[in-house]
Amino acid sequence: MKQLLSGNEGIARGAYEYGVRLASAYPGTPSTEIMEYVGERYPEIKAGWAPNEKVALEVAAGAAYGGARAMACMKHVGLNVAADPFMTLSYTGVNGGLVIVVCDDPEMHSSQNEQDTRNFAKFGKVPCLEPSDSQEAKDLVGEALKISEMFDTPVILRSSTRVSHSMSLVETQDRAEGPRELGLKKDPMKFVMLPAMARKRHPIVEQRQKDVASFADTFSYNRIIMNDDSLGIIAAGIAFQYAREALPNASFLKLGMSWPLPEKLIREFASKVKRLVVIEELDPIIEDAVKLMGIKVEGKELTGLCGELSPEKVEIALMGSSKAKSIGSIDIELPLRPPNMCPGCPHRATFTALKKNKVYVAGDIGCYTLGALPPVGMLDNCLCMGAGIGIAAGLDRSLGELAKGKAVAVIGDSTFFHSGMTPLLELAYNGGSTTVVILDNRTTAMTGAQPNPGTGFTLRADPTISADIEKLAEAFGFKRIRTVSPYNVKETEDTIREELQTDEPSLIIARAPCALLKTDRILPDKPLRIKADVCKGCKSCINTGCPALEFVKIEEPAEGDKRKGYSRINDALCVGCRTCQEVCKFDAIEEAS
């Protein structure tokens, strides 16, 4: 049966068809939907959100140690979090099949960096497979599991934004259970990585690399496609699709396994073409390896190291010009539409209160990262998941009075559970006077409102525990813990001011559900209106950054009217959060009749 599936749907379907018994993940674009599809469509798979990617990989590794086929899913920066178990899993091996799905984000559509996961495959000495469409996304899950079991290794399945989110036809089949016998297997020499055991495992890993490289020469998803021999292109994943569309008459070595590389196949292909070029996004992984083989090849000097490729970019890089016009290109200039927090977002109210205290804000990853943009402009650094608390603590301890009462950390509830608990414990342990604000909107909003350990629900909406942040902070040793409603801007502002003046670590929990949640809503959904004759045009409401607020310029003011304009509320967008009403000094905002 054929179905039209996205790459992420194809990966989820592959997990089902090829007998995955357990799947674990942390949401992160462009990988999020994989686990959502598993949860929605395939009850045969034990599936759930983990607090972070490290835990997700460890849970999946446990299943594989027991002989089960398992899958862990994350985006590229998530593999940084999971790097500790990942590197040693290469030594222990896995027993059952283990596929680690990692989705890269060239062009950084929703990411803080543009790293290339193939470096981790090379670094960890594990195979890496790359699908180029949804059919291969499904099929290569099965191939990854087979290779994992054949060579006793975890296998990376590397997708990218375009493969994950593009759709193509997929031939589906019924589920088949994994081949291994399930059970608890005692083998400390293999699975306990004390130095003495690890030293014995390292040569095994090196020999496995050679064995997998030999296998790569016969792997069916590595194949030569001969056309015109004047140009030969080596490519994998979405880069193959770009190159094939741009230069259909060229010859290709299409790689389904991008690490380790099939040296014999590469040499054979190179001998058949007059000009050899590697087309790959981001780092020159394939190009460098081909050069080390002593083969003359072109690559990054043509396509560059940064951003996404496209058929047009490939054609220009190789031919000097392009006959094609970029898909979606238009001849008119559209106004800029920067990302913005939603109308009624509780984070906007918290940032408004922070702004009134004129503080330096150490930020984190989530919807609230948008607080860095004007007119809010209240996020001063953002490094990685969970870093804001540690950075604020470092500023406080190193700058002393220079930072006293001027610096805070902000972090969302899901990010807190992901990697904010350990820096909060560090803050309690080592002291200082840092104030931390947890923006608890009761969901993992940035990636599509997935549940987290604080929401009381699992991936499949089954009731579960709801982690208590207040009790957790109390157990860590915090004595100053305050909970506020961010929509009460004045109370939140005063609370922040009070905590900034303390000489010990303090925690403020700004708790209000995401404005987009269908359940747990507290907003009235009754739009407000601004009395144009009362509004002074001071823009205090506009500076909250709410998309429902507009500023109307007065072109021809009435006699005595010195205003340049006045604010207006778009009642189609307003959800009645009243943040603008809270900051208005002139009582110009009221509930619409």
* 522 within a domain of the structure (yes/no): no
CB neighbours of 297 closer than 8 A, spacing ≥ 6?
A: 234, 270, 276, 277, 278, 287, 290, 291
The answer to whether residue 336 scores a pLDDT higher than 80 is: no
pLDDT for the residue numbered 522: 85
Q: Are residues 502 and 561 in the same domain?
A: no
Q: What number is the average pLDDT over the span 390-406?
A: 92
Q: In whole angstroms, what is the distance from residue 356 CA to residue 559 CA? A: 34
Q: Are residues 177 and 34 in the same domain?
A: yes
Q: Which of 165, 183, 216 is the last residue of a domain?
A: 216
538 is in an annotated binding site: yes
pLDDT for the residue numbered 325: 56
Q: Are residues 570 and 430 in the same domain?
A: no
pLDDT in tens, 541-593: 999 999 999 999 998 888 888 899 999 999 999 999 999 999 999 999 999 87
Q: Are residues 156 and 9 in the same domain?
A: yes
> Distance from first CA to last CA of the chain, Å, rounded?
55
Q: Which domain holds residue 555?
A: 528-591
* 49 within a domain of the structure (yes/no): yes
Number of compact structural domains in the chain: 4
Q: In whole angstroms, what is the distance from residue 379 CA to residue 363 CA? A: 6
pLDDT in tens, 425-468: 999 999 999 999 999 999 999 899 999 999 999 999 999 999 99
Q: Are residues 228 and 209 in the same domain?
A: no
pLDDT for the residue numbered 593: 74
pLDDT for the residue numbered 330: 62
103 is in an annotated binding site: no
pLDDT for the residue numbered 333: 79
The answer to whether residue 32 scores a pLDDT higher than 80 is: yes
pLDDT for the residue numbered 328: 53
Query: With the CA atoms of 164, 169, 175 and 177 taken in that order, what torsion angle do they form, in degrees rounded to the nearest 10?
Result: -50
Q: Are residues 210 and 235 in the same domain?
A: no
Residue 365 near residue 439 (C-beta atoms within 8 A):
no
The answer to whether residue 397 scores a pLDDT higher than 80 is: yes
Tokens of 198: 């690890």
* 332 within a domain of the structure (yes/no): no
Indicate the residue type of 404.
K
CATH code, domain carrying 445: 3.40.50.970
The answer to whether residue 326 scores a pLDDT higher than 70 is: no
* 502 within a domain of the structure (yes/no): yes
Q: Are residues 483 and 405 in the same domain?
A: yes
Q: Are residues 297 and 364 in the same domain?
A: no
pLDDT for the residue numbered 175: 96
Report helix angle 469-476 to 421-430, nearest 10: 40
The answer to whether residue 334 scores a pLDDT higher than 90 is: no
pLDDT for the residue numbered 559: 83
306 is in an annotated binding site: no
**Count of alpha carbons within 13 Å of 524, Cβ hemisphere only?**
10
Length of the chain: 593
Q: Which of 156, 186, 216 is the last residue of a domain?
A: 216
pLDDT in tens, 168-221: 999 999 999 888 889 998 999 999 999 999 999 999 999 999 999 999 999 999
259: left (phi > 0), else alpha (psi -120 to 50), else beta? Answer: beta
pLDDT for the residue numbered 338: 76
DSSP string computed for 271-286: HH-SSEEEE-SSS-HH
CB neighbours of 217 closer than 8 A, spacing ≥ 6?
A: 262, 263, 264, 265
Residue 51: closest CA among 18, 81, 15? 81
Q: Are residues 32 and 93 in the same domain?
A: yes
Where does the pLDDT of residue 339 fall: very low under 50, low under 70, confident under 90, or very high at 90 and above?
A: confident
Give kind and range of the element (H or E) at residue 589: strand 589-591
73 is in an annotated binding site: no
Where does the pLDDT of residue 366 fall: very low under 50, low under 70, confident under 90, or very high at 90 and above?
A: very high
* 333 within a domain of the structure (yes/no): no
Report helix angle 83-92 to 195-216, nearest 10: 80
Q: Are residues 305 and 410 in the same domain?
A: no
Q: Which of 511, 544, 566 is the last residue of a domain?
A: 511
CATH code, domain carrying 298: 3.40.50.920
345 is in an annotated binding site: no
Where does the pLDDT of residue 381 fall: very low under 50, low under 70, confident under 90, or very high at 90 and above?
A: very high
pLDDT for the residue numbered 323: 67
Burial of 87 from C-beta contacts in 10 A (0-12 / 13-18 / 19+): middle
Looking at every residue in the chain, the average pLDDT score rounds to 94
Tokens of 66: 């027991």
Q: Are residues 26 and 164 in the same domain?
A: yes
pLDDT for the residue numbered 341: 92
Q: Give backbone dihedrals phi and psi of 24, rounded to 5 degrees, phi first.
A: -140, 150
Residue 507: closest CA among 572, 440, 444? 440
Range with the poorest average pLDDT among 148-162, 223-237, 327-341, 549-563: 327-341
* 536 within a domain of the structure (yes/no): yes
Q: What number is the average pLDDT over the span 308-337?
A: 78
Q: In whole angstroms, what is the distance from residue 131 CA to residue 240 CA? A: 10
Where does the pLDDT of residue 524 fall: very low under 50, low under 70, confident under 90, or very high at 90 and above?
A: confident
584 is in an annotated binding site: yes
Give kind and range of the element (H or E) at residue 318: helix 311-319
Where does the pLDDT of residue 343 fall: very low under 50, low under 70, confident under 90, or very high at 90 and above?
A: very high
pLDDT for the residue numbered 553: 93
* 518 within a domain of the structure (yes/no): no
* Three-state secondary structure call for residue 565: strand
Q: Are residues 373 and 505 in the same domain?
A: yes
* 337 within a domain of the structure (yes/no): no
Percent of the chain exceeding pLDDT 90 equals 89
pLDDT for the residue numbered 492: 96
pLDDT for the residue numbered 327: 53
pLDDT in tens, 40-74: 999 999 999 999 999 999 999 999 999 999 999 99
